[in-house]
Structure 1
Amino acid sequence: MNIKMDFVSDWQDIIIGDMTAQGLRFSNSESKESLVIRYFTHLRKKGGQVSRPRRVHWSREFVCPLEQLKGLKKLVDVLEKGKDISPYLSTRIDDISFKDGMFNDWGVLHLHLGDRPYKKDNRFIDRTGPLLFLYLMTDDAYLINIYEHRDWTKKSVLQTVQYNWPELLYPLKGVIKLSHQYTEKEHADLRKAGISAIAQELRDVNGNTIVVLPHGLGITSSGDAMQDVRCYQKSVDKLHKIEEDVLKDLGKLQEAFKGKGYVPDPLLLKLIHEDGKWRVVEQNTGLIIRDYSTC
């Protein structure tokens, strides 16, 4: 019995179909792999597929300009009540090809602090010069401080995180100093070139030098977030494992089809998503081979 299947391609097509249905913008010239990875990044920036309440934590250094205080209060209410943060994101949030260097590299999100709808696009709140930099986790929002545009590689961002929430960073054991510390401009240039300068030399609360990795785990040569590339690869590995399991059970499949009086050849297996489940279906017959809760 011949068998044809490509669950990775099926899975990619399903996700890209979801992207299209959501009105996200992307180029069809980009590889499916790139599009799925950037969709993962898109979902992280929005705080996940479903909005959820978050505990809000403030750094000890936090200071908000008076002009942005009203907008900040509204945003904090959004975070605590689990409302959609999309209006506070960049107006390019729906452009999958747009790469947010700081978010991809360090995992630090920036949100605007307007307190009324943006006149050019009322899906968003007013754009502001000062921005809130924060770490957005599953159940928590860590408010680092208010920064300006172009502060995307400012070292004080990670230093503030280290002073307040060192558990959010990854210390390199046995490493206490870097042979070369990049300036903020050098880091920005490297980031634009897709070169990861991930390790950062900071100070702990006692003033001791430490070397850490930011929560974002750096970028790849494509400029994509390393953690989303890893997530993608884990999903691909799981799909390959499902294909291997199907091949191991090929004999049982043959017997099942013989029992129905028809053995399709070739066997056309396809991964689909319906009723909230991932299913492997034989296309000639419509027979469901397996159900999976996730892929």
Structure 2
Amino acid sequence: MKYHSSILEEEKWSIDIDLCADFNAILWHRLKNMGYTPSSAKHSATEYFKVKKLQIPQKKRQACYSKEFSCPSGYEAALSEFQSRVENGSDLTAFMTTRRVNPNFNDLLLNDWNIHHFHLTRRFHPNGLAKRSDYELFVYFTDTTAYFLQVYRHQKKHLFASQDLVRILHDNWPELISNRKLNDVLSLYPHAPSDEEYDCLRKAHVLTMVEVKPGTVYFPLGGGYASDGSSTDAVRLSDHWHNLLKRIEIEMVSKPKELISAIKTICENDEQAADVSFKLIAVSGQELLLFEERNSIVMQFFLNTDRPARLCRPADLYPSDI
């Protein structure tokens, strides 16, 4: 978007900037580099955060089993191998559904309860992905621990809407989900949904609470899903970044003369400095980096701090000792 001076202003200026479009383009390329095919640049932010939610960071974790956990006969070796991968911090992607290769895939179980499911098997396709198994393993992850909840047959009715998974978490490790517990709730009215009813509601993308026992009710452990099934965490993060970038853009163009004056103090061409074009080139949790293309100037925005934005030459940002 191009902002410019009015015809009544004596000093002419223009600022060409669209930080949200730049942000979407950056995440589009990140998805491509991760091996995904984004549907469009317009939706790349939401798709990127959906993919990030699906991913399990590779780090060593302790394996903890629920008291209800039961491994089916003949699958002990497969379970042991999977546990070893968890404890060694190996990549677990091979055991996940192949549908996750689509960045627009919605894992409703994960979005709802923050529980991952895996094929429990030792048989793999030539491409390294696990073959479909007769059993599914359900695990709840934190940064340090993998909580093995239960194994169910793939043919189990309403497999991914089995509310026993939430009950197992509550009965074994209530501290993990205490922030999602609703206080002062007597019961769900008129009755708590059965697994079949829960499954139907989830497939219709209707948010539902789980009553593990009378008076003990949990809000969706994974944050829930939007009307299209997308993770609300992913939608929230996408909205957060777009709102932040739009605020920065409005702040920059609200005082154009001060901004352009600051650029003029750095560059040598006053005439060119009055016609500027900013592009977002790097994003992290700590800072944003903008490049002013016409005058070769860098602008840093520091996040989560009171430090003011910084304008400088690229050489000042990355000094060389050579």
Q: TM-score range by the shorter chain?
A: 0.7 to 0.9
Secondary structure of the residue aligned to 1:145 is strand
Count residues in correspondence: 282
> What CA distance in whole angstroms lies between the structure 2 residues aligned with 1:165 and 1:38?
31
> What CA distance in whole angstroms lies between the structure 1 residues aligned with 2:74 and 2:54?
25
* Residue aligning to 1:70: 77
Task: Map Cα deviations across residues 229-288 of structure 1 (whole Å, 9 max, x no partner).
Answer: 222222223323433453466444322332322344542111012899741111222311
Asked if 1:281 corresponds to 2:291, the answer is: yes
* Residue aligning to 1:82: 89
Asked if 1:185 corresponds to 2:213, the answer is: no
Q: Report the CA distance between 1:10 and its aligned residue.
A: 0.9
What are the ranges of 5 or more consecutive residues in structure 2 without an aligned counterpart? 1-12, 305-322
Secondary structure of the residue aligned to 1:66 is coil
> What CA distance in whole angstroms lies between the structure 2 residues aligned with 1:23 and 1:237?
28
Aligned mate of 1:159, from 152, 160, 167: 167
Asked if 1:142 corresponds to 2:147, the answer is: yes
Secondary structure of the residue aligned to 1:152 is helix
Are the aligned partners of 1:196 and 1:221 in contact in 2 as well (CA < 8 Å)?
A: no
Q: Report the CA distance between 1:113 and its aligned residue.
A: 1.7
Q: Report the CA distance between 1:107 and its aligned residue.
A: 1.4
Asked if 1:258 corresponds to 2:264, the answer is: yes
Are the aligned partners of 1:47 and 1:138 in contact in 2 as well (CA < 8 Å)?
A: no
* Residue aligning to 2:45: 36
Secondary structure of the residue aligned to 2:22 is helix
Computed over aligned residues only, the root mean square deviation of the Cα atoms, in angstroms, reads 2.5
Residues 148 and 228 (structure 1), Cα distance of their counterparts in 2 relative to 1, 3 Å cut: farther
Residues 77 and 250 (structure 1), Cα distance of their counterparts in 2 relative to 1, 3 Å cut: farther
Are the aligned partners of 2:224 and 2:231 in contact in 1 as well (CA < 8 Å)?
A: yes
Task: Map Cα deviations across residues 125-157 of structure 1 (whole Å, 9 max, x no partner).
Answer: 333121111112222211111123341101111
Higher normalized contact order (CA 8 Å, seq sep 6+, divided by chain length): 1
Are the aligned partners of 2:207 and 2:220 in contact in 1 as well (CA < 8 Å)?
A: no
**Same amino acid, percent of matched pairs:** 25
Matched letter for residue 155 of structure 1: Q
Asked if 1:126 corresponds to 2:131, the answer is: yes
Are the aligned partners of 1:111 and 1:131 in contact in 2 as well (CA < 8 Å)?
A: yes
Are the aligned partners of 1:113 and 1:126 in contact in 2 as well (CA < 8 Å)?
A: no
* Residue aligning to 2:207: 196
Matched letter for residue 167 of structure 2: Q
* Residue aligning to 1:20: 32
Task: Map Cα deviations across residues 62-90 of structure 1 (whole Å, 9 max, x no partner).
Answer: 11112221111111111111111111111
Matched letter for residue 212 of structure 2: L
Normalising by structure 2, what TM-score? 0.79
Q: Report the CA distance between 1:25 and its aligned residue.
A: 3.2
Are the aligned partners of 2:106 and 2:231 in contact in 1 as well (CA < 8 Å)?
A: no
* Residue aligning to 1:231: 237
Q: Report the CA distance between 1:124 and its aligned residue.
A: 1.2
> What CA distance in whole angstroms lies between the structure 2 residues aligned with 1:26 and 1:253?
35
Are the aligned partners of 1:153 and 1:184 in contact in 2 as well (CA < 8 Å)?
A: yes
Q: Report the CA distance between 1:39 and its aligned residue.
A: 2.4
> What CA distance in whole angstroms lies between the structure 2 residues aligned with 1:63 and 1:237?
47
Task: Map Cα deviations across residues 167-200 of structure 1 (whole Å, 9 max, x no partner).
Answer: 2321111112010322222222222222212x11
> What CA distance in whole angstroms lies between the structure 2 residues aligned with 1:3 and 1:36?
25
Matched letter for residue 79 of structure 1: V
> What CA distance in whole angstroms lies between the structure 2 residues aligned with 1:27 and 1:130?
32
Q: Report the CA distance between 1:41 and its aligned residue.
A: 2.4
Secondary structure of the residue aligned to 2:161 is coil
* Residue aligning to 1:6: 18
Aligned mate of 1:102, from 103, 106, 109: 109
Matched letter for residue 189 of structure 1: C
Secondary structure of the residue aligned to 1:60 is coil
Residues 182 and 10 (structure 1), Cα distance of their counterparts in 2 relative to 1, 3 Å cut: same
> What CA distance in whole angstroms lies between the structure 2 residues aligned with 1:242 and 1:267?
16
Residues 272 and 293 (structure 1), Cα distance of their counterparts in 2 relative to 1, 3 Å cut: farther
Matched letter for residue 55 of structure 2: K
* Residue aligning to 1:242: 248
What are the ranges of 5 or more consecutive residues in structure 1 without an aligned counterpart? none
> What CA distance in whole angstroms lies between the structure 1 residues aligned with 2:172 and 2:42?
39
